[in-house]
Amino acid sequence: MRPIHTNAVIFGFTLGTVFAGSYYGLQRLCRVRMFSDTLSRINLWLWNAIIVAAAVSLMLGKTTSKEYAELEWPIDVAITVVWVVYAVNFFGTLARRREKGMYVAIWFWIATILTIALLHIFNSLERPISWMKSYSIYAGLHDANIQWWYGHNAVGFLLTTPILGLMYYFLPKQINRPIYSHRLSIVHFWSLIFIYMWAGPHHLIYSPLPDWAQTLGMTFSVMLILPSWGGMLNGLLTMRGAWDRVRTDPILKMMAVGITFYGMSTFEGPMMAVRTVNSLSHFTNWTIGHVHSGALGWVALVCFASLYYMIPRLWHTKLYSVRLAEVHFWTATLGLVIYVTSMWISGVTQGLMWRAVNADGSLTYTFIETVAAIRVYDVIRAVGGAVFLSGVFVMIYNVAKTIQQGSAAVPAGALPPGAVPVAGGR
Amino acid sequence: MSGQDDYVAELPRPDDANRDGIREEDNDIPGWWWWTWFATILFSAFYIPYYALTGWSQERMYAEQVEAAQAIAASAPAPTANPFRGDAAAIAEGQQVFATICAACHKPDASGLVGPSLVDPYWKYGDSDADLFQTVAKGRPAGMPAWESQLGTEKIWKALAFMETLPKSDQPGIGAPTAPGAASAPAAAPAPGS
């Protein structure tokens, strides 16, 4: 069940939205149509086929057992094909662009394309022994280290950089204000992608991984705080002077809360990477809370905002109901807060109970006692998740209605020829 | 913007680009951003050699913690008589422990399942308080695990105090010797444990 959940969230929802958002933004930032519509279609259909194959194969128990890379080798090969298609299409469009510079959103998408290619290929190197079974070429500690180099950078380059790209494109479009600082975007882009690469071993603190590698992972995580915050600052400072609009516009509200949660979880993560904190937080629900404040708070909210921006424009209409978007914003935020706080309390409770010892040196609590103690937080977490999910259903309804009212004017899914409302002539 | 290829001519200054109408200001990066970042780098620059050179390692932390735990264990010798015998509150707690831990193998009525009966007249490893404590705390070869690290001294004594209150059975249960003289069970056992 868990791999299905993580694959659906990361590769289905997030990457699907990133494909859509980057295709949308790239064409407008380059003032040119995508390099090849055929490649775009291959990207769309093959990717969705992969998601279906992932769901089916995981339910059948076909897994490489590598976290966030569970899919078996034929699907890995298909992912590689899609990624090459996406890259060719992306860089082909870039090469033909009618705009001098490359806007910062494009840099972040480029970083995503290059890094994910590297990560996916090297983490998934495996020897097939039948059509649905393979063995990784790495063993033991090497496997663990490569795995978390991949896993941590998947967070960096699937859940951070492409979403920053979405933020850098859709935020100024929606708020109609200039990005706060060009030089901040340069500095935080390069520092982020350089430092991110090294932080993977913080997932293996207090493990057989050599101490020096653990230390490296920890310190690079700490040094990553401010580069991550650069994106948050640029986002929030772009909103300065327009907070009255942020108060009334659900898209901007989602951006604002999303960026805030980005700042929060990129501070929390490095703290949890610090050895001393990690000895308390590791293996507890705190980690679950952290991941969801990033995934629900940052990734999902910015993705929702991007979808609310794109979809009405793609179908040449207005959003069916701003009120429902508002409802979505509040359910998402409320669900998020309930979820994350319950996991914090639960995680710290677990961590403290596990390490508690009696005066005679024996453990105070049996494992089952710690499970019983956090049960109430699991219930609260389920409530928070349900509230969050209910907002997604509201969005689906809203989007469906929007497409319905727009589809009369323009065939569904079709971009108008030229794709770009060209502002300054050619 | 005329040809397709003039983008190579020069890199635009940030304020003269069109970019789908997105403008960028070029405000200074806040000073605190730089200083905090440098502080994290400085922290790392000190932390790495400090960790590497002072001999601080997870092996040493582990060794120290084990040593400390052993010192505590050694300084608190196990009592030779059950300190909770007849203590109603302790027996109630012991019942909890028995139900969650012991009952799985010894059956809720202690008549034996995987592990031997605890209410029949036979004891494989002696029936004195010290022997019984030893059995639960350190385990026995035939499959009895050591519970000391998980339960601690107190809970073991409480569980034993509860066990004494269980109704006894005359029938040799599971684990009772099949031939006289086997194991250490006395032929005519006294009421066990009390």
B10 interfacial to chain A (CB closer than 8 Å):
yes
Q: Which residue of B has its CA nearest to A222?
A: B40
Give the Cβ contact number of residue A415 at 10 Å.
Answer: 16
Phi, psi of B135 (to 5 degrees): -60, -45
In sign, the C-alpha dihedral spanning A127, A129, A132, A134 is negative
- Collect all residues of chain A within an 8 Å Cβ-Cβ radius of residue B17: 99-101, 103
| Distance in angstroms (rounded) separating the CA atoms of residues A394 and A153 | 32
| Average pLDDT score, chain A | 90
Q: Could B51 and A215 be called an inter-chain contact, meaning their C-beta atoms sit closer than 8 Å?
A: yes
DSSP classification of residue A299: I
Nearest-CB residue to B152 (from A219, A226, A362): A362
- For residue A209, give the nearest of A197, A218, A222, A196 by alpha carbon: A218
Band of the pLDDT at A309, cuts 50, 70, 90? very high
Give the Cβ contact number of residue B18 at 10 Å.
Answer: 19
What are A336-364's pLDDT values in tens digits? Answer: 999 999 999 999 999 999 988 877 667 78
- Collect all residues of chain B within an 8 Å Cβ-Cβ radius of residue A425: 1
| Distance in angstroms (rounded) separating the CA atoms of residues A338 and A380 | 7
Residue B11 corresponds to which tokens in the numbers above?
């890199």
Residue A269 corresponds to which tokens in the numbers above?
């993560």
Are the C-beta atoms of A129 and A135 separated by less than 8 Å? yes
What integer pLDDT is reported at residue A325 of this predicted model? 95
- Collect all residues of chain B within an 8 Å Cβ-Cβ radius of residue A220: 44
Q: pLDDT tens per residue, chain B (194 residues)?
A: 333 333 333 444 444 456 788 888 888 899 999 999 999 999 999 999 998 888 888 888 899 988 888 887 777 666 678 888 888 888 999 999 999 899 989 988 888 888 888 888 888 888 888 888 889 988 888 789 988 878 888 889 899 999 888 888 877 776 666 544 444 444 444 444 43
| Distance in angstroms (rounded) separating the CA atoms of residues A337 and A383 | 11
Supply the Cα-derived Rg of chain B in whole angstroms. 34
- For residue B159, give the nearest of B142, B136, B141, B176 by alpha carbon: B136
Nearest-CB residue to A215 (from B7, B19, B48): B48
Q: Which residue has the tokens 């339960």?
A: B151
Average pLDDT over residues A70-89: 94
> What pairs with residue B24 in β-bridges?
A179
- DSSP run (H or E) holding A129: strand A126-130
- Collect all residues of chain B within an 8 Å Cβ-Cβ radius of residue A215: 47-48, 51-52
Q: Could A237 and B27 be called an inter-chain contact, meaning their C-beta atoms sit closer than 8 Å?
A: yes
- Collect all residues of chain B within an 8 Å Cβ-Cβ radius of residue A360: 72-73, 76, 152-154
B40 interfacial to chain A (CB closer than 8 Å):
yes
Task: Classify A133 as helix, strand or coil.
Answer: strand
| Distance in angstroms (rounded) separating the CA atoms of residues A115 and A120 | 8
What are A195-217's pLDDT values in tens digits? Answer: 998 898 999 988 988 888 999 99
| Distance in angstroms (rounded) separating the CA atoms of residues A239 and A364 | 51
| Distance in angstroms (rounded) separating the CA atoms of residues A19 and A158 | 11
- Collect all residues of chain A within an 8 Å Cβ-Cβ radius of residue B152: 358, 360, 362-364
Are the C-beta atoms of A17 and A170 separated by less than 8 Å? no
What integer pLDDT is reported at residue B186 of this predicted model? 46
Are the C-beta atoms of B129 and B82 separated by less than 8 Å? yes
DSSP classification of residue A33: -
Q: What is the ipTM of this complex?
A: 0.83
Kindly provide the b/e burial profile for residues B33-57, where b requires at least 16 CB atoms within 10 angstroms of the residue's own CB: beeebeebeeebeebeeebeeeeeb
- For residue B193, give the nearest of B171, B168, B170, B156 by alpha carbon: B168
pLDDT at A330 over 90: yes
- Collect all residues of chain A within an 8 Å Cβ-Cβ radius of residue B154: 358, 360
Q: Which residue of B has its CA nearest to A32?
A: B4
Give the Cβ contact number of residue B127 at 10 Å.
Answer: 20
What integer pLDDT is reported at residue B166 of this predicted model? 87
Task: Classify A363 as helix, strand or coil.
Answer: strand
Band of the pLDDT at A398, cuts 50, 70, 90? very high
Distance from CA of B9 to the nearest CA of A (A): 8
- For residue A145, give the nearest of A212, A99, A93, A96 by alpha carbon: A212
| Distance in angstroms (rounded) separating the CA atoms of residues A338 and B129 | 51
| Distance in angstroms (rounded) separating the CA atoms of residues A337 and A388 | 10
What are A94-138's pLDDT values in tens digits? Answer: 998 888 888 999 999 999 999 999 999 999 998 999 988 999 989
Nearest-CB residue to B153 (from A103, A180, A360): A360
What are A211-260's pLDDT values in tens digits? Answer: 889 999 999 999 999 999 999 999 999 998 888 889 999 999 999 999 99
Inter-CA distances, B79 with B127, B131, B159, Å: 15, 11, 15
Chain B residues 89-128 with a CB less than 8 Å from chain A: 100-101
Residue boundaries of the structural domains of chain A:
1-158
- For residue A203, give the nearest of A65, A67, A296, A345 by alpha carbon: A67
Inter-CA distances, A308 with A223, A304, B3, Å: 34, 6, 34
Task: Classify B84 as helix, strand or coil.
Answer: coil
What are A107-118's pLDDT values in tens digits? Answer: 999 999 999 999
Phi, psi of A410 (to 5 degrees): -130, 140
Distance of CA B71 to the CA centre of its chain: 18
Hey, which bits of A137-232 come out as E strands? none
Chain B residues 126-165 with a CB less than 8 Å from chain A: 148-154
B54 interfacial to chain A (CB closer than 8 Å):
no
DSSP classification of residue A345: H
- For residue A272, give the nearest of A232, A222, A227 by alpha carbon: A222
